[in-house]
Structure 1
């Protein structure tokens, strides 16, 4: 690396590798304006809502954004990190970036690295973080969408924004993006360790365990999205690693939105059906989420717990996501180093 500048040469940072962790997003607050701003950005994404603007925008702006911010704000209040005044997804993603920085700093790498984090929707934005990393001298950039299973509405929309940012840069960094890791041995191993640790802490033994993934409209799958296949393979590999039967660990899909059919079986309907059939003890985990968030803490540990209890269930457990646990960070470190081969 050059250390002596020619006379009158401007000082330019260079020679580093940037690593950007990206997760879905979080509102800046639970108030109406913050929630409306966040929901508008999220629900305006054509990857998320695959409808013509002429059809979707009147519904979004005329109905949804008038009522949903209040409802979503109350849900976020239930899981908000009041100490840091932020959503838990932001707390965990920042911690993941900090811990990855610490782990990589102990390694003898050929190039210095800078680790940062961003949100696809809300703050900090992908654009601001890509620009920050480049200003620090990151001539090479590895983007890690933190979604194990690929979906156009998650992984692809993160990459879309990264590509758009680079399109407007005169001097672009070289770019790599993390592929889906739904069947990566490091991912399956981390989940297996996490599940064993979480189950060992329970004071009961579940009769059934549900692996609940975020759903997508059935239409998206029919149009070629591989998400359902990735989820089913993840579930199979987890079952095999844990030695569980298909009856003991079942796969379901949550968080459906709107009137059309989504991937089935639905988590809430399955929970209700299990309770009605006489099952008294269940546990649910979310292998498609890298960190706990509204969909796991409020929807699963809140709404689905209530559904189970109201229909005769007695003991319910939500098993936490990998978050910034040791096993989660082991996985993230392995995935990162694998994608950095030839760079560091």
Structure 2
């Protein structure tokens, strides 16, 4: 707390001078019961960046059909992975751990100049609440970091949108920067490669193939200029080169398709079944580089639904390689990205 320069002696002291680092992830329901799930899904599926159909066309379908049924199925999926000890989803637990680890690194590098916190695009803690806290704490600058390695309109862009909307509420706006996609950052690629090497090193028999599964999106979005597909393909190529592998040792697939449109292919759930049924693959591993933290799409969709698809088609050994989460080399990579983006503000 300090009094502004040249202010009269009776001017109240104000907190100023800090730099905020606000980490953002997708979000999580507060609970897996019906109404918390419905609120969360309503916020998520009402986002025009996620579903870009006209409101008059989409909202009646969403409110009258999807949100009457999907909270039950999604709630059951969340229940199967829920962190009951802490009363929260794994994504929430992991994001808290990541934030604490990054905050410790920033303190080592910059002392008390940096305030590190996290927010969620959907659900709690909201972006708006965390921006307010940072401004109130005296952050004159905020670096906003969506934890999506590959850029997509439905992830990075909507997180940035919400951040900018939050700034509209502030009388005294801080200076801001946003962190761009880091799909080709050497530290990120190296951390991915090490996670594969560690997983393979612990196996008695190495998998015949590594399936590199990314979250999907409609092909139309790609044709309209979204760079996500190209960045996913480059991340896979850089991972392959870092591992020193041949093209035949890994493939890129896409998961989580939703709605009637054609999405990026091959679909992971179908491809793993085809690998077992047609190619005779009995032992595969799956990694999900688009997710910075394990969540419903990895712990339930990959490690339960997609695994079941592989095994029902004749596959025998299915290994899911966890997300990078709060692994030290991942935290180091994220911290380096943050430090690079703070240049000129803090050196």
Q: Deviations over 1:111-145 (max 9, x none)?
A: 71100001000000000000001111101000000
Matched residue count: 343
Match of 2:53 in 1: 51
TM-score scaled by length of structure 1: 0.97
Q: Deviations over 1:216-254 (max 9, x none)?
A: 001111111010000001111000101122221100000
Is the 8 Å Cα contact of residues 198 and 320 (structure 1) preserved in structure 2? no
Describe how 1:290-329 pairs up with structure 2 within 5 A: 290-329=292-331
* 4+ long deviations beyond 3 Å: 1-6
Describe how 1:1-344 pairs up with structure 2 within 5 A: 6-108=8-110, 112-277=113-278, 278-344=280-346
* Structure 2 gap segments, 5+ residues each: none
Q: Deviations over 1:308-338 (max 9, x none)?
A: 1111111010001010011110111111100
Alpha-carbon distance, 1:187 to partner:
1.1
Q: Deviations over 1:263-290 (max 9, x none)?
A: 0011011100011021100000000000
Q: CA RMSD in A?
A: 1.3
Question: SS of the counterpart of 1:324?
Answer: coil
CA distance in 2, matches of 1:298, 1:263: 21
Is the 8 Å Cα contact of residues 27 and 35 (structure 1) preserved in structure 2? yes
Q: Which moved more, 1:37-46 or 1:99-108?
A: 99-108
CA distance in 1, matches of 2:262, 2:109: 48
CA distance in 1, matches of 2:267, 2:84: 32
Question: SS of the counterpart of 2:247?
Answer: coil
Alpha-carbon distance, 1:167 to partner:
1.8
Alpha-carbon distance, 1:203 to partner:
3.2
Alpha-carbon distance, 1:168 to partner:
2.4
Question: SS of the counterpart of 2:50?
Answer: coil
CA distance in 1, matches of 2:2, 2:40: 44
CA distance in 2, matches of 1:28, 1:108: 34
Alpha-carbon distance, 1:2 to partner:
6.3
TM-score scaled by length of structure 2: 0.97
Alpha-carbon distance, 1:107 to partner:
2.0
Question: SS of the counterpart of 2:284?
Answer: strand
Is the 8 Å Cα contact of residues 283 and 316 (structure 2) preserved in structure 1? yes
